[in-house]
Amino acid sequence: MHHHHIILRVVTKMLVGTIILFAFYVQFHGDFSPGGGFQAGVIMAVAFILYGIVFGLNKAKQVFPAWVVHKLVALGVLVYAGTGVASMLLGYNYLDYGAFNPHHPSHGQHWGILAVELGVGITVTGVMVAIYYAFAGRPPPMKDEDW
């Protein structure tokens, strides 16, 4: 197995970093251009899924253990809902981003949307990778040799 697909393996190693970088770009540039948590999360997950497909599920799980993935799913939702609660604690309505900068509500909205999108990105990454792990981790009904 180790000598198979040498090109795929090399290209993957080169690509994974770039994909993650691009995911961060989409994530944090979402304020100014199309993009945001959903897209970034999926792109980020693609990096790990690609790694898993080429190097095998076990290697991918060494890099990104399943329990971490599950916690990330929950963390993202907490970040999102927590942003709303934070604005509530500051005396504003739920998810009223104006709370984060009372003098310039539009600046506050930048911070608010950044936090919320970060939550979305974390959860989407977690969910996509978790789905991949769940399906790929199932024992196959038939061994490769039996085909």
- Is residue 75 at the binding interface for other proteins, with CB under 8 A as the rule? yes
Cα–Cα distance, 105 to 140 (Å, whole number): 54
Residue closer to other proteins (CB basis): 15 or 53? 53
Q: How far is the CB of 15 from other proteins (least distance, A)?
A: 24
Segment near other proteins (CB under 8 A); pick from 2-10, 13-21, 50-58, 91-99: 91-99
Stretch that binds other proteins, among 13-21, 44-52, 58-66, 75-83 (CB under 8 A): 75-83
Exposure class string for 55-84: b at 16+ Cβ within 10 A, else e:
beeeebbeebeeeebeebbebbeebbeebb
Q: In the 3-class helix/strand/coil scheme, how is 10-59 assigned residue by residue? A: HHHHHHHHHHHHHHHHHHHCCCCCCCCHHHHHHHHHHHHHHHHHHHCHHH
Cβ-based nearer residue to other proteins, 9 or 70: 70
| Member of 82, 86, 111, 136 binding other proteins (CB under 8 A) | 82
Residues lying near other proteins in the complex (CB under 8 A) are found at 32, 34, 38, 70-71, 73-78, 81-82, 84-85, 88, 91-99, 102, 105-106, 108-109, 131, 134-135, 138, 141
